[in-house]
Amino acid sequence: ARHHGDVEMVSRRVEGDIHRYTYRDAQRRSKQLAKAIDAEGLARSARVATLAWNGYRHFELYFGVSGSGRVVHTINPRLKPEQIAWITNDAADEIFCFDMTFLPLVKAIAAHCSTVRRWVALCEADALPLDSGIPGLVSYEAWIGAQNSDYQWPEFDERLAAALCYTSGTTGDPKGVLYSHRSTTLHAYAGALPDATGLSSRDCTLPVVPMFHVNAWGVPYAAAMTGAKVVWPGPALDGKSVYELMESEGVTCAAGVPTVWLALLNHLHAEGKRFSTLQRTSVGGSACPPAMIEAFHQLGVEVLHGWGMTEMSPLGTVCRLKGKQLTLPWSEQLPILATQGRAVFGVDMKIVDPQGKELPWDGASAGDLLVRGPWIVSHYFKHEQEKLLIDGWFHTGDVASIDPDGFLQITDRSKDVIKSGGEWISSIEVENIAMAHPAV
């Protein structure tokens, strides 16, 4: 807020209208939020849950909760109600903040969430239902509005937990992954590097990747760090809505999963339109098909194909061409851009055979992918006794090869390899062929 206080943040709200304010406004309201949490009597490192779309109030929760010394716990609303209740209880969330679109879901789980003592609807006071049946329900605006912004952020150890996300883990119930203030900050630094997203104060970024999905890949933190203008899309993620926001706000970079970008590309194709400001888009969550990279290329947009995991905060690799590859013909660049790219600074990786022997970076040898780095988890939340690192390395569960230039090619998840006619087939290759078909 000190360096980028006048930079605008734009949100399409759940109600459908557009909300505008600045980083300075966000800081003021985040301080009010922190005081409201203090008033509830939460201890340090207590968890505050969010069930919300990408928007300015969710952004305030990111910073107001963790800045006060508590932990922001983002929950995926696409999970089954019983899973959400289980995760809420496992995390021992004490405050639960939710967008009004999820009111029916919250009604269904409230009685089963024994640790929650305050339910907060992310809305104005006059939008709060009188007969919700949810005990202790308040509106976010009334809740933080009862506090002023005269607040001094507390000082604490950089290793204190800042955020919590749940993953499917290796087996059984979902497992929590805690991110510290230190790991989150280092992750933001790395994510904004020129050979990663290259985010800067000259950018306008649109994170379509949900804020409930691994902290929106760290974009909220990197944007605040660099002073980039942020456009939050809310729940409207169809191609038409996303395109309209991109064009009206001058978006230069975006981030999302292939399914969202496929809908956007289909909209542009159907309407015969192009991008006027978009320069690059990060694609992750699942492998980006070469056909999609080609489609964006034809529209003058660079695809930054990335890979990571919840256990990695999530950033592991980003694919951008090296200098010597810029003069290659497009037909030779495309296969490179379809790989998962090179490890960002801070992440080390290697591939090993079933006996643990390290394999060469020759682009042909495939083995189990291992990673290590300052933002990679060492154990799951409340499972400290189950160490995830072996000799300092995290076993990703991916099968991969690495070429001499360091470009990672994930060929499959260990458990997803298909065997047909006695031959092993990569399910990713099957998906790429399907995505390239005109009927898909």
226-264 confidence digits (pLDDT tens): 999 999 999 999 999 999 999 999 999 999 999 999 999
Separation of first and last alpha carbons in the chain: 45
The confidence score (pLDDT) of residue 428 equals 59
Separation between Cα atoms, residue 213 and residue 76, nearest integer Å: 7
Residues 162, 256 within the same domain: no
Task: Classify residue 220: in a domain, yes or no.
Answer: no
Separation between Cα atoms, residue 154 and residue 91, nearest integer Å: 23
Residues 168, 275 within the same domain: no
* pTM of the predicted structure, to 2 decimals: 0.93
The answer to whether 306 and 340 have CB atoms below 8 angstroms apart is yes
Instruction: Tell me: pLDDT of 434 over 80.
Output: no
Q: Quick one: tokens of 86?
A: 């289980």
Of 341 and 418, the one with more pLDDT = 341
Q: Is 109 helix (H, G, I), strand (E, B) or coil?
A: helix
Instruction: Tell me: pLDDT of 424 over 70.
Output: no
Residues 254, 173 within the same domain: no
Give the residue-averaged pLDDT of 176-198: 98
Band the pLDDT of 130: cuts 50, 70, 90: confident
Task: Classify residue 84: in a domain, yes or no.
Answer: yes
Task: Classify residue 440: in a domain, yes or no.
Answer: no
Give the residue-averaged pLDDT of 39-43: 98
Q: What CATH number is attached to the domain comprising 132?
A: 3.40.50.980
Separation between Cα atoms, residue 57 and residue 59, nearest integer Å: 5
pLDDT in tens, 308-321: 999 999 999 999 99
H or E element: which one contains 175?
strand 175-180
Give the residue-averaged pLDDT of 128-134: 91
Residues 332, 403 within the same domain: yes
pLDDT in tens, 325-350: 999 999 999 999 999 999 999 999 99
Peptide bond into 329 cis (omega under 30): no
Task: Classify residue 97: in a domain, yes or no.
Answer: yes
Q: What interhelical angle do 258-271 and 239-249 show, nearest 10?
A: 80
Q: Is 117 exposed, middle or buried (0-12, 13-18, 19+ CB in 10 A)?
A: middle
Distances (CA, A) of 8 to 20, 88, 204: 7, 33, 9
Residues 138, 55 within the same domain: yes
The answer to whether 348 and 411 have CB atoms below 8 angstroms apart is no
Instruction: Tell me: pLDDT of 438 over 80.
Output: no
Residues 173, 91 within the same domain: yes
Q: Quick one: tokens of 137?
A: 């329900």
Q: How many domains does the chain fold into? A: 2
Q: Is 93 helix (H, G, I), strand (E, B) or coil?
A: strand
Task: Classify residue 185: in a domain, yes or no.
Answer: no
Band the pLDDT of 440: cuts 50, 70, 90: low
Could you tell me which residues are beta bridge partners of residue 231? 10
Report residue 292: phi and psi, to 5°: -75, -40
Separation between Cα atoms, residue 204 and residue 223, nearest integer Å: 9
Task: Classify residue 68: in a domain, yes or no.
Answer: yes
**Is the CA virtual torsion 259, 263, 269, 275 positive or negative?**
negative
Mean pLDDT of the chain: 94
CB-based contacts of 140: which residues, under 8 Å, 6+ apart? Answer: 57, 97, 120, 121, 122, 123
The answer to whether 232 and 207 have CB atoms below 8 angstroms apart is yes
Residues 29, 157 within the same domain: yes
Q: Name the H helices within 147-289.
A: 181-191, 219-226, 239-249, 258-271
Instruction: Tell me: pLDDT of 404 over 60.
Output: yes
Residues 106, 34 within the same domain: yes
Q: Which of 131, 149, 178 is the last residue of a domain?
A: 178
Helices (H) and strands (E) in the chain, counts: 12, 23
The answer to whether 244 and 267 have CB atoms below 8 angstroms apart is no
Task: Classify residue 388: in a domain, yes or no.
Answer: no
Task: Classify residue 145: in a domain, yes or no.
Answer: yes
Band the pLDDT of 1: cuts 50, 70, 90: confident
Q: Quick one: tokens of 288?
A: 């980006």
Residues 163, 273 within the same domain: no
Question: What percent of the chain clears pLDDT 90, i.e. is strictly above it?
Answer: 89
The answer to whether 350 and 139 have CB atoms below 8 angstroms apart is no
Instruction: Tell me: pLDDT of 420 over 50.
Output: no
pLDDT in tens, 291-307: 999 999 999 999 999 99
Q: What CATH number is attached to the domain comprising 315?
A: 3.40.50.12780
Band the pLDDT of 430: cuts 50, 70, 90: low
Residues tagged active-site: 167, 311, 419, 424
DSSP state for residue 383 in the 8-state scheme: B
Q: Which of 104-108, 367-371, 382-386 has the lowest mean pLDDT?
A: 382-386
Question: What percent of the chain clears pLDDT 70, i.e. is strictly above it?
Answer: 93
The confidence score (pLDDT) of residue 415 equals 60
Containing domain of residue 94, as a range? 25-178
Q: Is 64 helix (H, G, I), strand (E, B) or coil?
A: helix
Instruction: Tell me: pLDDT of 185 over 70.
Output: yes
Residues 244, 151 within the same domain: no
Residues 261, 170 within the same domain: no
The distance between the two most distant Cα atoms of the chain, rounded to a whole number of Å, is 69
Residues 244, 166 within the same domain: no
Report residue 8: phi and psi, to 5°: -80, 145
The answer to whether 164 and 177 have CB atoms below 8 angstroms apart is yes
